[in-house]
Amino acid sequence: MRDGDWVAQTGTEIRGVLKVMVDAEWLPGGVAVVGTGSMWEFVAVGGITTLCGDAPAAPDVRYDAASLTKVMATWPLVGRAVAEGILDLDAPLSRYFSGGPYAGGSVTVRQILTHTSRLNPVTWLERYVGTEQDLAEAILSEPLDEEGYRYIDRGFILLGLLLERLLGDPLDRLAAELWRGTGMAATTYGPLPRGAGVAPTERRVPGAAPAWGVVHDEAAALMGGVAGHAGVFTTATDLGCYARELLRVYSGEQGPREFARFVRQSWQPYVVVEDGLWRGLGWLVNADGLVYHNGYTGTSLFLHPETGRYVGLLTNAVHHGRRRTGLFDLRAAVRAAFTD
């Protein structure tokens, strides 16, 4: 199928699924960017429900990206550190964190990126509130879990803290510099002013306002809203810019050669997740060559390096509760579009 036809058809399919979800009141609305090369199309369905009334969903509305933070902030900054020779993917973390010895000191960055680190799978950080223990030391001091693949947030929390130490700046400042270099003018860590340009997430307490302009993830909130696993807000326009940039780097069209090598390595299958699905470095890779990542709030980014096609999804599917009805089908429809 020609690229233009694929973009139009995929946009139509996404619009149809989003409309069903909005009409059923499973979510207030959503936005998608569908593109390839210099061609892209935006899909916006429904709206966002604010305290001041409803506003339409649009490509410039910021959504809580949730775990897309892992691949939009932490993963590329790890790649930068690797490309500059500051970080070794296979060195034990004890090389970078003084003190100890820590149970997690033998863990490597590669293991964190493939979710085989054996770090404690429980993300809650409340146990450290009121203590004087450094958060990185606290995470590293926890006993290691059994071997195997296990998707966890703690590893990326730790990577965010490590990047700040290695690169000498707060994570949000490091990420902002990276995003501006790719033309992503709207992407940022929160907090953001509440208004029609920001989609609220979950109403956790009946009768109270929903989380709005502040990170939905509880652990990231305890860290001030800036963390390696969550905290980023982005728009469909910026998500499209980021997808284009990564695919150009992958193809060798732009970017440092060392970073391009890191991207290509990241999009190789390393660890089996299930039949036909593997974990690369930070990303999921399926049997069709599709590379993608999801966010809990209802976000996703799909890239197909072989064809240069991509889809970014931004919704606040948690707005009416954590069942997130219909989100599985929406993501499945997008994955299916890449097999046409």
- In the chain the domains, ranked by start, together with CATH numbers, are 3-67+171-270+284-337 (3.40.710.10), 74-167 (no CATH)
Query: Could you give the 3-state DSSP secondary structure of residue 325?
Result: coil
Adjacency order of strands within the sheet including 232-234: 63-64, 232-234, 188-189
Taking the C-alpha atoms of 239, 245, 250 and 256 in order, what is their torsion angle to the nearest 10 degrees? -140
Rg of the chain (C-alpha set): 19
**What's the pLDDT score for residue 205?**
87
Burial 177-208 (b: 16+ CB within 10 A, else e): ebbeebebebbbbbebebeebbbbbbbeeeee
pLDDT per residue, tens digit, the chain (340 aa), is 899 999 999 999 999 999 999 999 999 999 999 999 989 999 999 999 877 678 999 999 999 999 999 999 999 999 999 999 999 999 999 999 988 799 999 999 999 999 999 999 988 899 899 888 899 999 999 999 999 999 999 999 999 999 999 999 999 999 999 999 999 999 999 999 999 999 999 988 888 889 999 999 999 999 999 999 999 999 999 999 999 999 999 998 887 899 999 999 999 999 999 999 999 999 999 999 999 999 999 999 999 999 999 999 999 999 999 999 999 999 999 999 999 7
Indicate the pTM of the whole model. 0.97
**What's the pLDDT score for residue 217?**
97
3-state secondary structure 157-222: HHHHHHHHHHHCCCHHHHHHHHHHHCCCCCCEECCCCCCCCECCCCCCCCCCCCCCCCCCCHHHHH
Rounded Cα distance, 112 and 282, in Å: 8
**What's the pLDDT score for residue 207?**
84
Contacts of 24 (CB under 8 A, 6+ apart): 325, 326
Rounded Cα distance, 300 and 70, in Å: 12
DSSP 283-323: SEEETTS-EEEEETTTEEEEEETTTTEEEEEEE-TTTT-TT
Rounded Cα distance, 108 and 90, in Å: 5
**What's the pLDDT score for residue 253?**
83
CA dihedral (115, 118, 122, 123) positive or negative: negative
DSSP assignment letter at 62: B
Rounded Cα distance, 273 and 247, in Å: 24
Contacts of 189 (CB under 8 A, 6+ apart): 171, 172, 175, 176, 225, 226, 231, 232, 233
